[in-house]
Chains A and B, each alone.
Chain A
Amino acid sequence: MKSASDPVSVEINKTSGVVPAGTTVAAAIMLLSNGLPRLRESITGTPRGALCGMGTCHECRVTIDEVAQRRSCLVECRPGMRIQTDGL
């Protein structure tokens, strides 16, 4: 029987992974990316990760379940979430 504290399975750039319950999408990307902390590319193509952790800087935007430009530090992982990095 699933409980709120069960680990959560998500898909990042088409690769599945498991993270602890309550993990934000931003943290999940960092946990599952083997140390590659890039969440997106800036408008001139430089790699960017999260900065402010509180939804202000918008550097952590990724595509979640086909909706682009979501601030991943403000979204908690849900089972089956499909996450794509490297948007603008």
Chain B
Amino acid sequence: MGSEHTHDVVVVGAGPAGIAAACAAAESGARVAVLDENLAPGGQIWRRTTHGPAAEWLARARSAGAEFFCGAAVYSASAAPTDLLSPRIELRAEINDTSRRFSAGRVILAVGARELFLPFPGWTLPNIFGVGGLQALAKGGMPIADRNILIVGTGPLLLAVAEYVHTHGGRVVGIAEQAPAAAMRRFAAGLWRHPSKLAQGLKLKAALTGVPHWNNTWPVEACGDSAVRRVRLTDGSRSWWVRCDMLACGFGLVPNLQLPALLGCRTHEHRGQRVVAVDEHQQSSVANIFCAGEPAGIGGVDVALVEGLIAGYCAVNNRSAAVSHFARRDSERGFAARLHAAFQLRPELRVLADESTIVCRCEDVTMRAIAGCDSWRDAKLQTRCGMGPCQGRICGPAIEHMLGWPAHDIRPPLQPVTIGTLAAQ
């Protein structure tokens, strides 16, 4: 049997939302544990960031006494009270191939989001990454200096990653944004409400002068032999090839709902996506379970920080501290709404795959095979799509986008874990 840990509050996810929640709860006097499967705190946007706001927040959480457990993949959880006198929520995490049980009276889910991948011909070639994916891999040491890098998809992430590439010696050969220029202009015009974001946007623009920038543009196909060599883009009327060593391609973010769903948290539709339903205290539909940041609706780092604080304060009943952040949350959520409006996926992106495009990468299942089924479950059983190690995280949102089939059926283990870990319970 693995070891057991008891805390007042367990935060799952050490990105901005989780770190902020840990600060709020720990500063209010609670014993707080933060679990994250990555090697170090920071989540995606603050991955390997050792200075600036990321470092400050992390230092604040640590000095408030929050305990960080890295390399901790939560694979199972239950909100069923084991002891009627003190109902506890139990989470099981695999750390170094051993099972550890964490229990707490309150849990804050800050499990973030993942990129939406839309399959298109050739997308499985090596050196094709997500947009955030390329940055994450580069932060882990993947060489990008002197590489020709094409960035395709949608959202401010394209510019942020383009700037990162540029700063680290890579050559951005183009940025292809599917949203119309007019939508982006409207979005930029609204940035006066968020001066810091406006400044950030202008800085990005300045760093990227001279880089070809296309709107209304999306990928048709990627070609290469052992890796991508060139990509064909289109704006709906004409198409053109761009040569590149690497392609970063991503179409926005999808909330990570696996752990919330396993715990029974109700989800609802919000701007075309399923997200965790929370009240003004960031409390989910399950007592003592809170949710902050992307899983409650994609909104970026500033939404994550303010919601994390509110969730952390509410988890320890520090309502007055929580309320003082409500106005900030409204403002940041307003920004998120404008972001969503600007970067909605256009109808031409409904299906970029052709018949022979691989949709499920784990099991090499083509679009043709999947489209011949009548539901997600039927497709899983007949073609094995979604039955591989990613457990449908990559193909599920793509299939939902293309065919309208919602993926469902959450069961532990939420991540692949060893047989030994499951035997230790």
Contacts and interface: CB of A to CB of B under 8 A. Distances in A.
Direct contact of A and B (CB under 8 A): yes
B128 A51 contact: yes
Given A37-B227, A51-B128, A52-B115, A57 B361 contact: yes
The DSSP consensus for interface residues of chain A is loop
Range class of the B interface residue count: 35 or more
Interface in B351-385: 358, 361-364
A52 B361 contact: no
Interface in B21-47: 37-39, 44
B37 A26 contact: no
Contact of B363 (A20, A27, A43, A57): A43
Given A52-B130, A52-B133, A58 B140 contact: no
Given A57-B390, A59-B361, A74-B37, A51 B117 contact: yes
Contacts of B389: 58, 61, 69
A19 interface: yes
A27 B144 CA distance: 10
Contacts of A26: 137, 140, 142
A39 B361 CA distance: 14
A81 interface: no
Interface residues of A, number: 38
Interface string A35-52: 111110011101111111
Interface string A16-30: 000110111011101
Given A36-B226, A46-B124, A56-B393, A51 B361 contact: yes
A52 B112 CA distance: 14
B239 to A, nearest CB: 24
B394 interface: yes
A48 B133 contact: no
Given A38-B126, A56-B393, A31 B143 contact: yes
A19 B142 CA distance: 11
A42 to B, nearest CB: 5
Interface in A42-84: 42-44, 46-59, 61, 69, 73-76
Contacts of A57: 361, 390, 393-394
Nearest to A20: B141
A31 to B, nearest CB: 6
Nearest to B246: A37
B141 A27 contact: yes
Given A26-B137, A54-B136, A56-B114, A49 B37 contact: no
B252 to A, nearest CB: 14
Given A57-B390, A76-B39, A51 B129 contact: yes
B273 interface: no
Nearest to A46: B124
Contacts of B134: 53
A53 B141 contact: no
Nearest to A44: B364
Contact of A54 (B128, B133, B416): B133
Given A48-B361, A73-B136, A73-B140, A56 B39 contact: no
A74 B134 CA distance: 14
Contacts of A59: 361
Interface in B116-172: 117, 124-130, 132-137, 140-143
Contacts of A69: 389, 416
Contacts of A20: 141
Nearest to B133: A53
Contacts of A37: 126-127, 226-227
Instruction: Give the top 3 A-B pairs by smallest Cβ distance, nearest first.
Output: A53-B136, A49-B126, A27-B141
Given A55-B38, A73-B137, 17 more contacts: A19-B141, A27-B137, A28-B141, A31-B142, A31-B143, A42-B358, A43-B362, A50-B137, A50-B142, A51-B130, A51-B394, A52-B130, A52-B394, A53-B137, A54-B44, A58-B388, A58-B389
Interface of A: 19-20, 22-24, 26-28, 30-31, 35-39, 42-44, 46-59, 61, 69, 73-76
17 contacts: A19-B141, A20-B141, A22-B141, A37-B126, A46-B364, A48-B361, A49-B227, A50-B129, A50-B133, A52-B114, A52-B117, A52-B394, A53-B129, A53-B130, A57-B394, A61-B389, A74-B71
